[in-house]
Amino acid sequence: MPPNDNRIDARDWSLLAVLSVLWGGSFFFNGAGLRELPPLTLVFLRVALGAAVLLPLLRVQGISFPKRTLGWKPFFVIGLLNNVIPFSLIVIGQTIIPSGLASILNATTPLFTVTVMAMAGEEALQMRRVAGVVLGVVGVVILRGWGIETRPGQGFGILLCLGGACSYGFAALAARRLLKDSAPLGTATFQLMASTVMMAVAAGAVEQPWHLPMPGLTTWLAVLGLAGLSTALAYIVFFQILRRSGATNVMLVTLLIPVTAILLGWLVLGEPISMREIAGAIVIGSALLVIDGRALRMLQRVA
C-alpha cells in the first residue's frame, strides 16, 4: 500500500522517469500509425498486441487467469477506464489537434486524479499537492510553448483529450479499490485482454478493419512500438508504481513526459534545447519538489 504521507522514494522516481519515456513515445507512435489506420483500429491493435506480448510472461511467473467470470469484472472496469476510453478519445483527438497540444492536455491528468481521489475519500486534498500539480501544468505549457497552432474546429479535439485525462483519474481510483492485491504483471495483462474484447467490438462496429488495405512497414513498426513499449512494458511499470506510491503520484508521469521528450531529442537526435524549454523544465522540477513535500519541510526546519 502507498505510504501515508504520499511521498515517492528514489526507486519510484526512477520508475516514473522510465514510464515517462515509454508513454511519451505513444504520441509519436500514434501520429505515425494514424497515417494509415483509423483511430479505433489503432487502439485495438495496441491493446491486442500488448496483451500478446505479456501473455507468455504469465506462465513464466506462474500467474494464473481469474477462475470465474466474476473474477474478470475488475479487469474489464480498469480496461474500460484506463485503455478503451482514454486511448480512443486521445487518438481521435490527435486526428483533430497536433500531438504537442495533446501532450499538454495529457499533463492535466494529475489534476483530475487529485480531484477524483479526494472526492472519493481515498487521498486527502492537500493544497500543497494541488498547487504543485498546477505549477507543473504551467511548466509543461512553458516547455511546449503556446506557439502550437490552433485552428477553428479544434475545440472538440481538446475536449476529447481532456476527457481522456479525466478517465485516467477514475481509472486510478478503480485500480486502487479493485486491484490492491493483484500482481502488476497480472493486472497489466488481464486489463489489456479485457480491453481487447471491448475494442474488437468497437472497432468492428464503427470501422470494419477487415476491409482496410494492409498497412506499410512503417505503420507496423509504429504499432509494435506502441503495443510493446508504450503499452505492455509501460503498464507493468505503471501498476508497480501505483501499488507502491499511490494513484496521484503515478499520474505525475504526465508532467515528466514532455521533459523526457526534450532530453531524448537532445541526446539521440542532437536537437538544440532552448532557454524556454530549460525554464519549463525548471518549473516542472520545482513543482515535483512541492508535490513531494520533503524539500519544503527541510526549508522549514532550516528557517
Contact 266, 183 (CB under 8 A): no
In angstroms, rounded to a whole number, what is the distance separating the alpha carbons of residues 30 and 28?
Answer: 5
Q: What is the pLDDT of residue 88?
A: 95
CA atoms of 258 and 125, how far apart (whole Å): 26
Model pLDDT for residues 9-59, shown as the tens digit of each residue: 778 888 888 898 898 888 788 888 989 999 999 999 999 999 999 999 998
Alpha carbons 187 and 54: distance in angstroms, whole number: 11
Burial of 64 (0-12, 13-18, 19+ CB in 10 A): exposed
Main-chain phi, psi angles of 220, to 5 degrees: -65, -35
Tell me, what's the pLDDT at 14? Answer: 86
How far is Cα of residue 182 from the mean position of the Cα atoms in its chain?
20
| Residue 302 or residue 83, greater confidence | 83
Q: How many CB atoms lie within 10 A of CB 275?
A: 7
Give the pLDDT band (50/70/90) at residue 5.
Answer: very low
pTM value > 0.85 = no
Question: Distance of CA 79 to CAs 9, 51, 128, 230, 292, Å?
Answer: 28, 12, 31, 15, 29
Instruction: Determine contact, residues 95/39, Cβ cutoff 8 Å.
Output: yes
Distance of CA 66 to the CA centre of its chain: 25
Per residue in 186-239, pLDDT (tens digit) is 999 999 999 999 999 999 999 999 999 999 999 999 999 999 999 999 989 988
Does the pLDDT value for residue 303 go beyond 60?
A: no
Spatial distance between the Cα atoms of 35 and 53, rounded to a whole number of angstroms: 24
Indicate the pLDDT class of residue 4, thresholds 50, 70 and 90: very low
Whose cell is 499537492? That residue is 129
pLDDT for residue 147: 53
> Is residue 3's pLDDT more than 50?
no
Which pLDDT tens digit goes with each residue over 135-152? Answer: 878 888 787 665 555 566
Mean pLDDT along residues 113-125: 80
